[in-house]
């Protein structure tokens, strides 16, 4: 039963997170949405009751699927909390990965000098960019 519950949550997470990315949400937001909406819903009870009445599914399978839906719904608060945590971590990772731009070669007046933009992702890279000699001015 745990494997079936994990499968339900995993498949719904993959579909929901992928759809969220397709519709323009960030990776962090898509993870949160995927985990929050990955549980089974109340409509599953309606369908499973209908399947029981029409004898489409064996009684044991029907009972097991009801338990799986209940388990997935019980996990919703934990999955939502996990989604919040993962969203925060992903946002921090994305923020750390952004480089800073160091402009080199402008004179004090911001005038006729040549400008070189150096994008450095690490502190050492930015320090190296600051130490490097500026490029020669244009036309001199």
- Tokens 């009870």: give the residue: 45
Residue 33, pLDDT above cutoff 50: yes
Report the C-alpha gap between 38 and 136 in whole angstroms: 58
Q: Model-level pTM greater than 0.85? A: no
Backbone angles phi, psi at 9, to 5 degrees: -65, -45
Q: Is 65 exposed, middle or buried (0-12, 13-18, 19+ CB in 10 A)?
A: buried
- Please tell me which residue, 92 or 2, carries the higher pLDDT value: 2
By three-state DSSP, how is residue 99 classified? coil
When pLDDT is averaged across residues 116-130 and rounded to a whole number, the result is: 58
3-state DSSP of 53-94: HCCCCCHHHHHHHHHHHHHHHHCHHHHHHHHHHHHHHHHHHH
Residue 3, pLDDT above cutoff 50: yes
- Contact by Cβ (8 Å): 40, 27: no
List 101's β-bridge partners, or say none: 119
């Amino acid at each position: 039963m745990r494997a079936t519950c994990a499968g339900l949550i995993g498949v719904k997470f993959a579909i929901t997170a992928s759809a969220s990315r397709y519709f323009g949400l960030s990776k962090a937001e898509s993870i949160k949405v995927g985990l929050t909406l990955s549980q089974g819903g109340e409509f599953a009870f309606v369908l499973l009751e209908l399947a029981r009445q029409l004898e489409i599914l064996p009684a044991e399978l029907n009972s097991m699927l009801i338990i799986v839906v209940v388990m997935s719904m019980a996990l919703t608060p934990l999955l939502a909390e996990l989604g919040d945590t993962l969203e925060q971590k992903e946002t921090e990772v994305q923020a750390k990965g952004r480089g800073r731009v160091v402009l080199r070669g402008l004179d004090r007046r911001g005038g006729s000098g040549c400008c070189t933009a150096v994008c450095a992702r690490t502190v050492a890279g930015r320090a190296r960019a600051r130490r490097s000699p500026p490029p020669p001015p244009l036309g001199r």
